[in-house]
Chains A and B, each alone.
Chain A
Amino acid sequence: MIKITDLEKFYRTEEVETIALNKLTIDVKKGEFVAIMGPSGCGKSTLLNILGMLDDPDGGSYVFNGVEVAHFNERKRADLRKHNIGFVFQSFNLIDELTVFENVELPLIYTGVPSSERVKRVEEVLDKMQIMHRRNHYPQQLSGGQQQRVAIARAVVNKPKLILADEPTGNLDSSNGNDVMELLTDLNEHGTTIIMVTHSEHDARYSHRIIRLLDGQTVMENIMI
């Protein structure tokens, strides 16, 4: 599903050039659950941003579903992204001014799903995430665990092929964290490919494979048994 080859990303200031990704090559197959680990500054988030088409690489190739996307412009990337990729963030990134229902509805609005269909699909996914009873609440009125459930609901409502999760349990206690990991595993078991950046060995164990990065390069890959 994803094939990146010799991927490069630099951050430049007037005096310093930092290499975030250094000729990185990774393959992720459809239906895989991959965890990416590594110390701070190793390039994990940069990689996730490029995989999510939020950022473009400075060099190398990125093939998504058989299409080279490394040189797509912003509009094309946005189009591909909204139909194929869901995001889960450490800090949830819910819009404070919108209710739970409206937050989850948002990706459907941007993909042009008609209103009646939207209501059906949002209710379905809220039900599945067990936060239906909170549908009219605002994010600030929810606990961290509940907010992350909403964020996951929002990520999956469009039935994406790929979910990118950036430390999804980083702001949660262990009990809520485990619940989130169970949800992601469940989604993966139903066919969604998941790439998750994490610092937690515990969370990484939910995945099929761990890719360890250091200074923008792969240093080790563990297959989980």
Chain B
Amino acid sequence: MYRNYFIIALRNIRRNLSYAFLNVFGLTLGIASCLVIFLIVRNELNYDSFGHKADRTYRVTLHAIDYNSNVSTAIVPTMRVDFPELEQVTQVFYQHEGLIKVGQSIYKEKNYAFADKYLPSVFDYQWIVGDPKTALAEPNTIVLTETMAKKYFGQQNAMGQVINLEKQYNLKVTGVIKDIPGNTSLPFNFLVSLETIRKDLSNFFWSIPGGSYAFIVLPQNLAVSRIESKIPAFIKKNWGADIAKAAKLPLQPLKDIHFDQRYINNIVTPTSKETYWVLAGVALLIIVTACINFINLATAQAIKRAKEVGVRKVLGANREQLIGQFLGETTVLVLLAVFMGVVIAAIFLTQADKWLDIKIGAEQLGEGGVIAWIVVLTVVVILLSGLYPAFVQSAFQPVESLKSKAGISLKGLTLRKSLVVAQFAISQILIVGTIIVAHQMDYFKNKDLGFNKDAIISVGIPDQAKRDVLQQQLTADPGVKDISFSSGAPAYNNSFTSLSAKELGLTKDDVTEVKFIDERYTDMFGLKMLAGNKITKDTLHHVVVNETLMHKLGIRNPQAAIGKKVTLNGNYDAYITGIVQDFQSESKHKQRRACVLMYNPKIFFTASIRIQPAAMHQTIDHIGKIWSAQFHDNVFEYEFLDEHIASLYKQEQKAYTAFGLFSSIAILIGCLGLYGLIAFAASQRTKEVGIRKVLGAPIMSIVGLFTKEFVWLILIAFFIAAPIGYFMMDKWLQNFAYHVNIGATTFLIAIAASFIIALITILQQVIKAALANPVKSLRSE
């Protein structure tokens, strides 16, 4: 019997190739998308879960004024003594880039860390060679990841080789580990033993170098609250009551790091779990859309199968057998789609790193958990798309279905229309979502920045003594329009200080961003002065403050702030000589901070260079040559300011790309179904169209006949989609301190897009039906 079902399923596919193609293609896209989204969501939600101690591992953080993931380098050694009950305490000093020299080759490497010998026992790295217990115990040792070992030494044995770091340390390779998974909050290419720099580490509580992290591992069955409750006493004992009052050391679960957006100074920008749940929701919508297609096309086609059902019933088939048969046919189509979906997903994953900035190997598709998920998905899709059509078709009465083709009325029309409405609503929600995310992305990168970001590159200055020569040489290049030295361009915030203003009643030290800038900075970046003067040379005790700081000082009128005294870093008095309009110095996720601008040429680590738009590449090449001639032991690197700003929204960009891509797929799948449905409707109404034409109906009225129904369906869908879309996206926008407002235009675009997409989809079929020769269509009846 099953053989018979299988045979008839294959023959039916062959006979109705276009129908099968629409179904299988839609399902294939749906299943491939679902698989990719599943892997993305799994990857993100399982961040930092790869170690077997992950559930017991916590990051020791600092909460003084802000939530800071960096802590003093003094914390770990002291904790190790004061908390003997902890299974492990480990210290990491993370560096975003470093200069490596192997033989005569120089490399500028990103992401490495100084780590103590305990780190390998906290995280389960896979060691290829070396002893995890001792590899980082001695000074001047280095553990490489496999990729780095191959890069530096090819097929040679890396163990025992010497690598120079930052022209300062000669490090012996004591281990090679497999590349670490992409979903870690502590990504690195190599580890250098912390002992190498031990003498440089401070014991001062408030000395918090960027990149200083501390991790602890709790023993089994010890509640974290037991440790937390002892921390205030621990701070007091080691650093005094004042510090114990001002600072807390929250213990942050390792697995929460990727989703906790309160913290600054994370290595990997945290993201919201919501984003990935929404993405999972998109996957659900995609698969529902594909199943709706299946149901719609199958029930519409059912009329063609009525005679067969009648004959089978006459010959003794019962309803269960017929349901089994139709489900069997669905199974064949779904299995075909699953097979192709897996292949497409595998191909896509090889490119996902490039498109979505997510490292997921295609080999993950072969993992047990993923295979189990594919099986579940397959069964759900078979039941979701097969059950209803199977019930409809098996319910045909033999007497009616054997009478004639026209004798059977097609049931489930209301359901089919409801499903089409659901599909339109899904498309519209996705269109609304994509438009709003696009607006927000544009707003992030281009709107309300408070400074001019165009055609500016940032270049590091490794040696301040050569700055003037560099400036002279660069200014001589006609491709260079302007140049300014500072601690960083407006969108880089890396220096903070404490600020108080006793005369204005601000006695408590408040954290304030500080930017050290030269006299060209204000003009070059187009910062807007609201009162007073710009920063000029040699104005050591003069500062310009931003509006937010002015408001913090309780001053409303910029003019009134001029001449007021503020104290920086607890002991440095300075006078406000100007007020600058707020500018965006970090991402729009957070409220703008108070900011102080001042002149200090010792800290001009960055040159910001505005380039003439014409011949940009040649100019950058030339700048590179001049720069390398001055700093020949270094590697020239530059970053466009607008690219840096975009990098602040990496997670959102990733989500935006994913939403855009998967929304398009969902809409395409919906279009496939609509196309199939209208093709079927056109063929069903051939006779009606023929009669109408014979009676003199113009082509446009025939086109109207088919399209007016869809107009209503789209309108109904819109009234469902608009509030859902608004609610969802409004919630998403609340993640950001600064965001766009959702306007009526978004919804108008969504409904217009729906109409256009539907019209393009159905037009060819409708026109074909309207232009058909009525003589033929009537004769065929």
Given the interface contacts A97-B308, A102-B4, does A110 sit within 8 Å of B11 by beta carbon? no
B321 touches A110 (CB 8 A): yes
CB < 8 Å neighbour of A109 from B1, B319, B398 = B1
Evaluate contact between B1 and A52: CB separation under 8 angstroms.
no
Residues of chain B lying within 8 A (CB to CB) of residue A89: 402
Beyond contacts A95-B311, A107-B316, A110-B317: 17 other A-B pairs, Cβ-Cβ < 8 A, are A52-B314, A54-B314, A78-B317, A78-B318, A79-B318, A93-B402, A94-B311, A95-B312, A96-B15, A96-B308, A97-B308, A98-B7, A102-B4, A102-B7, A110-B315, A110-B321, A154-B315
B314 near A97 (CB under 8 angstroms)? no
**What is the size category of the interface that chain A forms with chain B?**
20 to 34
Tell whether, in the assembled complex, residue A93 and residue B4 are in contact, meaning their CB atoms are under 8 Å apart.
no
Rank and list the top 4 A-B pairs by shortest CB-CB distance, nearest first.
Answer: A82-B316, A110-B316, A97-B11, A107-B315
Q: Is A215 an interface residue (CB 8 A)?
A: no
A107 to B310, CA, bound (A): 13
Contact with B along A17-59 (1 / 0, CB 8 A): 0000000000000000000000000000000010010110000
Interface check A81, CB cutoff 8 A: yes
B392 in the interface, Cβ–Cβ < 8 Å? no
**How distant is B402 from chain A, measured CB to nearest CB, in Å?**
6
Q: B-side binding surface: helix, strand, loop or mixed?
A: helix
Q: Which residue of B lies closest to A99 (CB)?
A: B7
Please tell me if A87 contacts chain B, counting CB pairs below 8 Å: yes
Residues of A within 8 A of B (CB): 49, 52, 54-55, 74-75, 78-79, 81-83, 87, 89, 93-98, 102, 105-107, 109-111, 154
Bound together, the chains give a CA A89 to CA B313 distance in angstroms of 14
A111–B310 alpha-carbon span in the complex (Å): 17
Residue B157 at the A interface, CB < 8 A?
Answer: no
Residues on B with C-beta less than 8 A from A82 are 315-316
Residues 375-406 of B, flagged 1 when their CB comes within 8 A of A and 0 if not, give: 00000000000000000000001110010000
A-B contacts, 9 of them at CB < 8 A, read A52-B314, A54-B398, A55-B399, A81-B314, A81-B316, A83-B316, A105-B4, A106-B315, A110-B316
B12 A97 Cβ-Cβ under 8 A: yes
B8 CB–A CB distance under 8 Å? yes
> A156 to chain B: closest CB distance in Å?
12
Residues from chain B with a CB closer than 8 A to the CB of A107 are: 315-316
Whether B311 pairs with A93 at a CB distance below 8 angstroms is yes
Instruction: Tell me which of A83, A87, A96, A109 contacts B314 (CB under 8 A).
Output: A87
Given contacts A78-B313, A154-B315, contact A95 B1 (CB under 8 A): no
Q: Is the CB of B318 within 8 A of A97?
A: no
A95/B399 in contact, CB under 8 A: no
Query: Contact: B307 with A93, CB < 8 Å?
Result: yes
Evaluate contact between A49 and B399: CB separation under 8 angstroms.
Answer: yes
B140 to chain A, nearest CB (A): 77
Cα distance, A102 to B6, chains bound together (Å): 13
Chain A residues, CB < 8 A from B317: 78, 110
B399, A93: Cβ atoms closer than 8 Å = no
Question: In chain A, what residue has the closest Cβ to B9?
Answer: A97
> Which one of A74, A109, A154 has the greatest number of beta carbons of chain B within 10 Å?
A109
B310 A93 Cβ-Cβ under 8 A: yes
* Nearest-Cβ distance from residue A102 to partner chain B, whole angstroms: 7
B:289-343 near A, CB below 8 Å: 307-308, 310-319, 321
B 614-640 to A, binary, CB cutoff 8 A, 1 in contact else 0? 000000000000000000000000000
